[in-house]
Amino acid sequence: MTKTLVVGAGGVSHAAVHKMAMNADIFGDITLASRTKAKCDAIAASVKDRVGVDIATAALDAMDVAATVALIKETGADILVNLALPYQDLKLMDACLEAGVHYLDTANYEPEDEAKFEYKWQWAYHDKFKEAGVVAILGSGFDPGVTSVFAKWLKDHRLKTIRQIDVLDANGGSNDQAFATNFNPEINLREVLQDAKHWEQGEWKITPAMSHKVEFDFPGIGPKNMYLMYHEELESLSTHFPEIERARFWMTFGDAYITHAKVLENVGMTRIDPVMHNGVEIIPIQFLKTLLPDPGDLGAQTKGKACIGDIATGEALDGSGEKTYYIYNICDHEECYREVGSQAVSYTTGVPAMIGAAQVLKGNWTEPGVWNMEQLDVEDFMDMLNNHGLPWQVHELDGPVKF
């Protein structure tokens, strides 16, 4: 019987573990472990209530490699699904290597003391995973994750080469909060406030955060302002599809979000270095996270839709010249909440984490080594998106994007 170990018990984990329990034939016995066991128990209770499946829970500090190895052995896990934070990626990869089990995450490693994510640290594990005969799947969320799977599918089915690609992430959801992030606030603010960076003609172009705004009419949502940002799939896509001349990432933000984020940055609340406060050392952004709403709790009050996808231009596979395609999913916050008790951002990350882990467990992704999603066979992954709550559509556009 297959055994699955999930680490981290936040918003994304809530959605992923419910979906794994709904697919018990693939995931077998599930154990959920995290720093705060009470959060694992709350998810387990919800899974029992909604899906009728029992999952085991455990306390685990994911920075403790020996403790993780011991838990992997105790549970007999075949795969460790890392839904904790990017800071834990390397320690959890070390534990998987030592225990000889597969690994999957949804976010690129970044050091806690520097807001800079890069694949070099995780790519450096490729040979070790190869030698150990186990698979590591990087970035199996929606973006990164499905956005890379979409790019690969376009290359398999529509475009011989991708000349330019834009990843567009729109959250048209609203809730009662004056300011809230839709995933971990610390990771979200570190990402949003760093310089924007995009790939163009063989080099990275750097522009100040939030300095490039475009209005786009999103399917299922309508017109919204989106901002140029740096995002990790730009690094992996431009590496693995070297023909790409331009790769950009855009995300929508409302004016209130941007104003709050700027004010918090200006007053030092997003600082990631330790400061002394009343004789105690604190890291301001971690204190801010304690004050902000927990994104995992926003499901009940979030309404509206999210739409994430890629617009890619390149030479058509059938030789008919240059073509542009838009491939995307539309996800409804309230439907996600009805199904698993999550808002759409947790859902659109948790479901691809489940599907990515299913690819490994079903024997579709077996080549030992460290892989990004666009390097893999994505046929079954795309089918599972359609069958497990994230249906996608692809449309040809009149020509390349004009923004």
Q: What is the 3-state secondary structure (H, E, C) of 214-265?
A: EEEEECCCEEEEEEEECCHHHHHHHHHCCCCCEEEEEEECCHHHHHHHHHHH
Of the pair 141, 284, the CB lying nearest ligand NDP is at 141
Of the pair 238, 348, the CB lying nearest ligand NDP is at 348
Give least dist CB 141 to ligand NDP, A: 2
What is the enclosing helix (H) or strand (E) of 295? none
String of contacts with ligand NDP for each residue 231-260, x by CB under 6 A:
------------------------------
321 sits in the region (left: phi over 0; alpha: psi -120 to 50; else beta) called: left
Give the Å distances, CA to CA, from 190 to 86, 94, 341.
12, 25, 27
String of contacts with ligand NDP for each residue 143-172, x by CB under 6 A:
xxx---------------------------
Q: Which of 4, 31, 75, 106 touches ligand NDP by CB under 6 A?
A: 106
Q: Which of 36, 174, 211, 393 touches ligand NDP by CB under 6 A?
A: 36
Is residue 136 classed as helix, strand or coil in its secondary structure? Answer: strand
CA distance 311 to 168: 8
Count of residues interacting with ligand NDP (CB under 6 A):
34
Beta bridge pairs of residue 90:
none
Of the pair 86, 284, the CB lying nearest ligand NDP is at 86
Applying the rule CB under 6 A, the residues between 80 and 99 that interact with ligand NDP are 83-86, 88
Of the pair 65, 311, the CB lying nearest ligand NDP is at 65
Nearest residue to ligand NDP, by Cβ distance, number only: 10
Is residue 298 classed as helix, strand or coil in its secondary structure? Answer: coil
By the rule CB under 6 A, 349 interacts with ligand NDP: yes
CA distance 81 to 103: 6
CA distance 234 to 148: 9
Of the pair 184, 324, the CB lying nearest ligand NDP is at 184
Residue whose C-alpha is closest to residue 351's, from 5, 10, 13, 100: 13
Give the Å distances, CA to CA, from 110 to 88, 116, 129, 151, 327.
9, 6, 20, 24, 29
Of the pair 284, 352, the CB lying nearest ligand NDP is at 352
Q: Which of 34, 75, 372, 375 touches ligand NDP by CB under 6 A?
A: 34
Q: Which of 284, 295, 356, 389 touches ligand NDP by CB under 6 A?
A: 295
Per CB under 6 A, residues contacting ligand NDP are 7-13, 34-36, 39, 60-63, 83-86, 88, 106-107, 139, 141-145, 183-184, 187, 295-296, 349
